[in-house]
Amino acid sequence: MLKDSYFHEVFWKQFRRNRLALAACGIIVFLFLLSLFAPFVTPCKPDALDLYHVLMPPSAAHWFGTDELGRDVFTRVVYGARISLKVGFVAVGISIAVGTLVGLLAGYYGGVVDSLLMRFVDIMLCFPTFFLILAVITILEPSIWNIMAVIGLTSWMGVARLVRAEVLSLRERDFVLAARALGASDARIIFRHILPNALSPVLVSASLGVAGAILTESALSFLGIGVQPPTPSWGNILTSGKDYIEFAWWLSLYPGLAILVTVLAYNLVGEGIRDALDPRIRE
């Protein structure tokens, strides 16, 4: 317990020194609260039509302007944050769960189990991930749940490799050998002793993975095979904006900025976690 509390103290001390990572955390919390309380901070519903105010530029009444159907772009961007954050967290949760399990089994048992699992990882890495997602989505119904599942099930290979490398160095440590000598089962050793000590690279991968999942969902929605209208998504808002980009620039600017800021924030947090966990930069 003392060791854990000391580790947490050192980690937070290092993380707080990274001002960019702290600012990125603030942005993520702000986006989360904004999407959570969207009905209270937006002037109307995201699918409310107003054909008398079509393609209106940003103003006091419509902060981000209106689209080709008179819908408030600010409202749609805020509600689109719900979709993007949901996709990011659920997809990364799936990829982390699958990758961690595969990495634990491969690293702990080694031998034939390691060879089979790692060759399967190599085969999965041979496929271009985005085109594999496109192929699966075109076969399945393009819904948000299918998108989250497909993104999660096609992005776990990097996590598996990271966890396997950690487990290979941990399985010969004294505390693992002591647990094995006391008669602990393999499941207890893996999940009770090894897993908590192998989570450091997983945290970094999870933060960066959320950014990647948001980008992938936005790209799928932009291509028309992601989240389907009228449900607002940053990607499908950009899709509608590309037809009017010459005279309605706000339709592309604001959802594009939302994607940029969100992805950048998660990347900065991931780098901050990585630096805080790196013992080489600690004083």
In angstroms, what CA-CA distances link 113 with 35, 106, 108, 251?
Answer: 44, 6, 9, 51
pLDDT value, residue 7? 52
Highest mean pLDDT (candidates 31-45, 109-123, 212-226): 109-123
Residue 227 to residue 217: CA distance in whole angstroms: 8
pLDDT in tens, 81-136: 888 888 888 999 999 999 999 999 999 898 899 999 999 999 888 877 778 787 77
Backbone angles phi, psi at 66, to 5 degrees: -125, 160
Q: pLDDT: is 9 or 60 the higher one?
A: 60
pLDDT value, residue 6? 41
- Beta-carbon-side half-sphere exposure of residue 88 (alpha carbons within 13 Å): 26
Q: Which two tokens stand for residue 269?
A: 């947090």
Q: Are 210 and 262 in contact (CB under 8 A)?
A: no
pLDDT in tens, 140-172: 777 788 888 888 888 899 899 999 988 988 888
Q: Which domains occur in the chain, in start order? A: 30-37+69-277 (1.10.3720.10)
Cα dihedral value 216, 219, 220, 222, nearest 10: 160
Q: Are 247 and 69 in contact (CB under 8 A)?
A: no
**Is the predicted pLDDT of residue 44 greater than 90, yes or no?**
no
Average of per-residue pLDDT values in the chain: 84
pLDDT value, residue 273? 84
In angstroms, what CA-CA distances link 275 with 16, 61, 75, 198?
Answer: 11, 44, 36, 16
In this prediction, residue 8 has a pLDDT band, given cuts at 50, 70 and 90, of: low
Q: What is the mean pLDDT of residues 241-260?
A: 86
Residue 48 to residue 277: CA distance in whole angstroms: 47
In the chain, the amino acid numbered 267 is N
User: Which residue in this structure is represented by tokens 């993104």?
Assistant: 151
In the chain, the amino acid numbered 273 is I
In this prediction, residue 2 has a pLDDT band, given cuts at 50, 70 and 90, of: very low
In this prediction, residue 278 has a pLDDT band, given cuts at 50, 70 and 90, of: low
pLDDT value, residue 264? 92
**Is the predicted pLDDT of residue 5 greater than 70, yes or no?**
no
In this prediction, residue 4 has a pLDDT band, given cuts at 50, 70 and 90, of: low
In this prediction, residue 183 has a pLDDT band, given cuts at 50, 70 and 90, of: confident
> Minimum mean pLDDT among 10-14, 117-121, 271-275: which range?
10-14
**Is the predicted pLDDT of residue 1 greater than 70, yes or no?**
no
In this prediction, residue 187 has a pLDDT band, given cuts at 50, 70 and 90, of: confident
pLDDT value, residue 3? 46
